[in-house]
Structure 1
Amino acid sequence: MTASPLPAASTEWAAPEIRQTRAALSRVIEPGDLLAQVLIAELGPLEAYGRICASGGPGDALQQRVGETAETAGLSARQRRLTDALPRWRARLRQVQGPRDLRSMQQLGGGLIIPEDSAWPAALNDLGPMAPTALWFRAGPREGTSGAEGDPYERFLRRMPPHHRAIGIVGSREMTDYGGRVAVQLSSELAGRDVCILSGGAYGVDAAAHRGALKAQAPSERAPTIAVLAGGLDRWYPAGNEPLLRGIGNTGLLLSEMAPGSSPTKHRFLHRNRMIAALAAATVVVEARRRSGALSTAHHALGLGRPVGVVPGSVFSASSEGCHRLLRDSPAQVITDAADILHLLLPDGGALSTGSADEPQNTAEAVCTTQREQLDALGEVDQRVWDALPARRFTSVGKLSEVAGLAVPQVLGGLNRMQTLGLVIRRNGHWGRAR
């Protein structure tokens, strides 16, 4: 393959053939196509792409195999028919130029991260079948370094923050002066504490959040801010934000699931929001009108079990109507300053502390007490997942989805949160309670 060589670090990278295939699949498959993701999960990217490229129908055996998994993912009988899906995927095969796309991103200081890489952001897996096929990125050298920062993949590794240090700040494109000042202040304070700000690169609150992060004195090499875009990274959209997006690409990261040359559309914007929600440990809505796309991001976060915060506004302001409805109708919490956002990550206030080597070790009794307290503190979604887990054996995510009555992404989100707490363990793709 003609893409740039990957850095020879301890990171495990997928084979070039798989990367090239994922690049092709990212052009063939639209975001949100759950049946395509089920097919890839069942067969692997190489065989799945081969089936798409081949002529003829899927065959009864493959339809049954994929159909059963797709049904577990919540697809209707009509939505899981491969005979309907294959033509729509094959219609784009003439557009596939995997090596060219990889070369194009290399020339722009970027590349492609795929699920088979150990560098793949594990938080995206919480989306389950809604996870992206691949993640295109752009990470240019910082200003004044003259390209001396090394390979783009090395820059990605250095800049991509750990999940617990990423906060999504989103809001309306038609922000008020109040919303702009709040977004800048919150993002600047958080970035100054080595918290990465994720947003969508759009006009309004998104741009204000990015600007606030860029002006902060970040204490590490990690990205102060990341923009998740709805189109290909070889074009600047919106065009009026080109200087801002260039600045983000040179000090942080630009991310997209869309192949180079792809146009941003309303459909792709809505699906882009789920990636912001997944990549962020918590999401904060600064201003949102009644039908703002920022509410979509907040609802995705809530569906994943991520904390959501909302900055209240004037009761007379249409720009805050969506915020107030979110506070009224969801578990979202009021945000008034950066400390409130850090509190979202860990209610005891120790969200970003590293702990001390001098702290005494817990006794078994203290651990049991802590576990009981953790179970008592679980949110409604996590509690339903916990209750659905068998007491003494392991079970699949699909079975948990059926028993708990929750969508697969919600189940995965709850399991990952409880795994972090040490309440559950994963074994051979199945989950069980930790003893």
Structure 2
Amino acid sequence: MVKHDGSQQDPVLLSGRDVTTEIGTSRRPPEAEEELRRSWAGLLRAYEPPDAALAGYVERVGARAAWTAIRDRRAPRSVLLPTAARTEQFIAAELEALIDTDLAAAEAVGARLIGAGDPEWPEAAFVSFLMAASNAVKNAAPPVALYVRGRRLTNLPADALSIVGSRANTAYGQRVAADIAMGAADAGLTVISGAAFGIDTVAHRGAMAYDRESPTIAVLACGIDRAYPVANAALIDRIAQVGSVISEYPPGFSPARHRFLVRNRLIAALSAGTVVVEAGRRSGTLSTAGAADGLGRVLMAVPGPVTSALSVGCHLLLASGKALLVTSAEDVLATLGERERVEAFNRHVGLEPLMLPTEPPRPTERHPTDGLEPGIAKVYDALPARAARTVTQLSVESAIPSGDVIAALTVLELHDLVRRQNGAWRRKRQSDQ
């Protein structure tokens, strides 16, 4: 390919979209398709999202060239730093073997891998990250690829609505969330949420009450081959049958607190608007609201009883002027400017009148790492609940260099959160003295 200055461009530097254009057809050759797919898998294995430097590098040179440069340790320093913990201890052949393992695990659960240049890639949904980054919005980096189970991703973000809220929902929140989800699905919108307990579960189930194509999408904070929470495994499998389940983490990756916060930016990006139904003052749901606001999406919140701790976050969003007040599916459709959908919204969704909670909400639990630096919290989250891990294992899991992991463990030990055990580290147990 001849560049504007007359020189030749190395084909490996072509992005997925460039390859399609270069060969002049709607599909890449099978060998190019496989190479690109392996590159996406390698990139997802190499770093912990989001990372603006890596995402920008992939955008500039293409996934294949980016992965080759990272694998061979010749990428720019800004890209090598966030990928060092998961790549520098392996030779190229070992990294390629890890890709084989990831792709086989994804295939075993019926998942596929998509990225920029794939016809299914929701490019329109992720353009907002570029605009947010130019406005210095924190963590405004798009995914470089996604594992997907189920139906194709189409018409995102235009025809989608995100519904999020507290895991410890009340009867009031459950009824409102169900009302909005069912009404949105009835109007032809795809409902997006995170498959967690509480409002997420209600939103997914409400959307699936309607027999239509792709009624709901679940975004996971773990590998595509895992179900979290485990009790929602059947729900997640059902979503994959009628809708889609997506993840930007390699198969086998475990859920961690910071990954839920990272996942939330995708929930916001993939839809035209986000509705918050019940959120405590310190709820992680508010990170989804912050992402929606930073990405320029329509942000809505449902007011609740002034006596409910689970509505404080919604009230703060409304008081700040960042969120618009909604109380029903019709409100949501009107707020999104869906006039035609509002006019078509002419049948009752079959819910009983809204009720106040019959029991007081459960208090928000404090996390052990509250107040600590994010990197230190990531190391703590990388420790399993009942097993020990070496520094090297923690470095790979958290994507933090070994030296920084050791420093983090020292801080965690000072805070009485971890213990050494036979050359490894584990979380403190109640039985420890």
TM-score of the two chains, using structure 2 as the length reference: 0.66
Return the alpha-carbon distance in structure 1 between the equivalents of residues 303 and 280 of structure 2.
12
Compute the RMSD of aligned alpha carbons: 2.3
Please show how residues 151-300 of structure 1 align to structure 2 within 5 Å: 155-156=151-152, 160-218=154-212, 221=213, 223-300=214-291
Residues 134, 84 of structure 1: alpha-carbon distance in 2 compared, 3 angstrom cutoff:
closer
User: Would you say the 8 A contact 1:52–1:89 is kept in 2?
Assistant: no
AA aligned opposite 1:167: L
Shift, 1:163, TM fit: 2.4
| Aligned partner of residue 209 in structure 1, secondary structure | helix
Shift, 1:103, TM fit: 2.9
The residue aligned with 1:312 is: 303
| Aligned partner of residue 191 in structure 2, secondary structure | strand
AA aligned opposite 1:297: T
Residues 312, 92 of structure 1: alpha-carbon distance in 2 compared, 3 angstrom cutoff:
farther
Residues 315-365 of structure 1 show CA distances to partners (whole Å, capped at 9, x for unaligned) of: 110000000000011331111111111112217x246889xxxxxxxxxxx
User: Would you say the 8 A contact 1:12–1:119 is kept in 2?
Assistant: no
Shift, 1:99, TM fit: 3.2
Return the alpha-carbon distance in structure 2 between the equivalents of residues 88 and 177 of structure 1.
45
Q: How many residues align?
A: 303
The answer for unaligned runs of 5 or more in structure 2 is: 1-24, 131-139, 345-433
The residue aligned with 1:110 is: 111
AA aligned opposite 2:320: D
Shift, 1:162, TM fit: 4.1
User: Would you say the 8 A contact 2:156–2:271 is kept in 1?
Assistant: no
Return the alpha-carbon distance in structure 1 between the equivalents of residues 324 and 89 of structure 2.
44
Shift, 1:101, TM fit: 2.2
Shift, 1:275, TM fit: 0.4
Residues 88-110 of structure 1 show CA distances to partners (whole Å, capped at 9, x for unaligned) of: 35247556522332233223222
Decide which of 105, 125, 133 is 2:127's aligned counterpart.
125
* Greater mean deviation of Cα atoms: 102-111 or 304-313: 102-111
Return the alpha-carbon distance in structure 2 between the equivalents of residues 289 and 85 of structure 1.
33
The residue aligned with 1:383 is: none
Return the alpha-carbon distance in structure 2 between the equivalents of residues 296 and 198 of structure 1.
15
User: Would you say the 8 A contact 1:172–1:288 is kept in 2?
Assistant: yes
The residue aligned with 2:22 is: none
Return the alpha-carbon distance in structure 2 between the equivalents of residues 213 and 233 of structure 1.
21
Return the alpha-carbon distance in structure 1 between the equivalents of residues 95 and 342 of structure 2.
45
Residues 92, 265 of structure 1: alpha-carbon distance in 2 compared, 3 angstrom cutoff:
farther
User: Would you say the 8 A contact 1:27–1:92 is kept in 2?
Assistant: no
Return the alpha-carbon distance in structure 2 between the equivalents of residues 92 and 316 of structure 1.
54
Return the alpha-carbon distance in structure 2 between the equivalents of residues 271 and 250 of structure 1.
25
Residues 84, 164 of structure 1: alpha-carbon distance in 2 compared, 3 angstrom cutoff:
closer
AA aligned opposite 1:317: S
Residues 172-224 of structure 1 show CA distances to partners (whole Å, capped at 9, x for unaligned) of: 11111111111112111211222110000000100011111112233xx2x11
Residues 24, 86 of structure 1: alpha-carbon distance in 2 compared, 3 angstrom cutoff:
closer
| Aligned partner of residue 136 in structure 1, secondary structure | strand
Residues 350-384 of structure 1 show CA distances to partners (whole Å, capped at 9, x for unaligned) of: 46889xxxxxxxxxxxxxxxxxxxxxxxxxxxxxx
The residue aligned with 1:341 is: 332
Decide which of 48, 52, 55 is 1:37's aligned counterpart.
55
Shift, 1:249, TM fit: 1.0
The residue aligned with 1:66 is: none
* Identity percentage of aligned residues: 40
The residue aligned with 1:328 is: 319
AA aligned opposite 1:178: Y
Residues 186, 24 of structure 1: alpha-carbon distance in 2 compared, 3 angstrom cutoff:
same
Residues 135-157 of structure 1 show CA distances to partners (whole Å, capped at 9, x for unaligned) of: 10111xxxxxxxxxxxxxxx426
Q: Does 1:15 align with 2:8?
A: no
Return the alpha-carbon distance in structure 2 between the equivalents of residues 164 and 207 of structure 1.
23
Return the alpha-carbon distance in structure 1 between the equivalents of residues 84 and 254 of structure 2.
22
Decide which of 86, 90, 98 is 2:87's aligned counterpart.
90
Return the alpha-carbon distance in structure 2 between the equivalents of residues 12 and 200 of structure 1.
32
Q: Does 1:27 align with 2:45?
A: yes
AA aligned opposite 2:254: S
Return the alpha-carbon distance in structure 2 between the equivalents of residues 334 and 319 of structure 1.
16
| Aligned partner of residue 231 in structure 2, secondary structure | helix
Residues 374-421 of structure 1 show CA distances to partners (whole Å, capped at 9, x for unaligned) of: xxxxxxxxxxxxxxxxxxxxxxxxxxxxxxxxxxxxxxxxxxxxxxxx
Return the alpha-carbon distance in structure 2 between the equivalents of residues 301 and 231 of structure 1.
21
AA aligned opposite 1:45: A
Shift, 1:118, TM fit: 2.2
Shift, 1:274, TM fit: 0.5
Return the alpha-carbon distance in structure 2 between the equivalents of residues 42 and 124 of structure 1.
16
TM-score of the two chains, using structure 1 as the length reference: 0.65
| Aligned partner of residue 31 in structure 1, secondary structure | coil
* Greater mean deviation of Cα atoms: 122-131 or 313-322: 122-131
Return the alpha-carbon distance in structure 2 between the equivalents of residues 92 and 37 of structure 1.
22
The answer for unaligned runs of 5 or more in structure 1 is: 1-9, 64-80, 140-154, 355-435
Return the alpha-carbon distance in structure 2 between the equivalents of residues 318 and 51 of structure 1.
50
Return the alpha-carbon distance in structure 1 between the equivalents of residues 83 and 226 of structure 2.
29
The residue aligned with 1:144 is: none
| Aligned partner of residue 88 in structure 1, secondary structure | helix
Return the alpha-carbon distance in structure 1 between the equivalents of residues 54 and 65 of structure 2.
12
Return the alpha-carbon distance in structure 1 between the equivalents of residues 281 and 173 of structure 2.
15
Return the alpha-carbon distance in structure 1 between the equivalents of residues 86 and 59 of structure 2.
16
Shift, 1:266, TM fit: 1.0
Shift, 1:15, TM fit: 2.3
